[in-house]
Amino acid sequence: MFDWRWDFVWEILPRLIAATGNTLMAAGAGYLIAVILGLVLALAQRTPLRPLTWIVREFVEFIRSTPLVLQIFFVFYVGPQFGIRLDPWTAGMIAIGLHYSAYLSEVYRGGLESVPKGQWEACASLSMSMRQTYVRVIIPQALPPSVAGMGNYLVGIFKDTPMLSVIGVAELMHTANAIGSEHYRFLEPFTLVGLIFLAISLPSAGLIRLFEVWVRRRVGID
């Protein structure tokens, strides 16, 4: 009953490894969007414009409480209804980037709120501009407490990339599915995908912990 075939493993491994590259690329690109857009969403919630703050707040809540896979379908299929055709990669990156930007904005918000009020007042009394205040004083102090959360979501986005297979992004899961249906064998491809995920996510979680320690020391907290 334990019908594991090593020859089949060696046959499909190169294809899976190539697809792992796509998975990492998807995770990286999605994360880049999320890191930048998340900061925009976090800062937008700190403006004195009440309606804007409220809209962004509700938007973040909405994104965070609905399933990513549904959002991926939404972005992919709604465009064509208005004559905009998105290829699977673009749609996937928009959806996953947007989803995680909502999570990252919460991480940044926590970081920004952890900066003592006196720091703001000190900047004001030195008549620093808003830009200077953020870039030189607030963000460097808000960053270290945010690093742990940012790292967790980097691993999180990596683990969520298989959902992109539903719209045909040729990442790891999609490739394993294709191999499985070509050869009528799902045992090896699906097991290998699991192992590849473990082999990447466990060490990265460890590396992120190390990076966290390094950042804290660098900024002079420890």
Which of 31, 37, 123, 160 is in the footprint of other proteins by CB under 8 A? 160
**CB 26 → other proteins: shortest distance, Å?**
13
Burial 26-44 (b: 16+ CB within 10 A, else e): bbebbbebbbebbbebbbb
CB 208 within 8 A of CB 166: no
Which of 48, 81, 84, 131 is in the footprint of other proteins by CB under 8 A? 81
Q: Which of 209, 70, 93, 76 has the alpha carbon at shortest distance from 149?
A: 209
CB 161 within 8 A of CB 172: yes
Nearer to other proteins, 137 or 185 (CB): 185
Residue 73: exposure state from Cβ atoms within 10 A (0-12, 13-18, ≥19):
middle
Cα–Cα distance, 165 to 174 (Å, whole number) = 5
Which of 80, 135, 207, 209 is in the footprint of other proteins by CB under 8 A? 80
Nearer to other proteins, 138 or 200 (CB): 200
Q: Is 209 in the site for other proteins (CB under 8 A)?
A: no
Q: Is 187 in the site for other proteins (CB under 8 A)?
A: yes
Cα–Cα distance, 71 to 178 (Å, whole number) = 23
Which of 190, 211, 212, 216 is in the footprint of other proteins by CB under 8 A? 190
Q: Is 202 in the site for other proteins (CB under 8 A)?
A: yes
Query: Binding string, 51-70, against other proteins, x = CB under 8 A?
Result: ----------xx-xxxxxxx
Nearer to other proteins, 138 or 146 (CB): 146
Tokens of 97: 């980037």
Residue numbers at the binding site for other proteins (CB under 8 A): 1-3, 61-62, 64-71, 73-74, 77-78, 80-81, 159-163, 165-166, 173, 177, 180, 186-187, 190-191, 193-194, 197-198, 201-202, 205
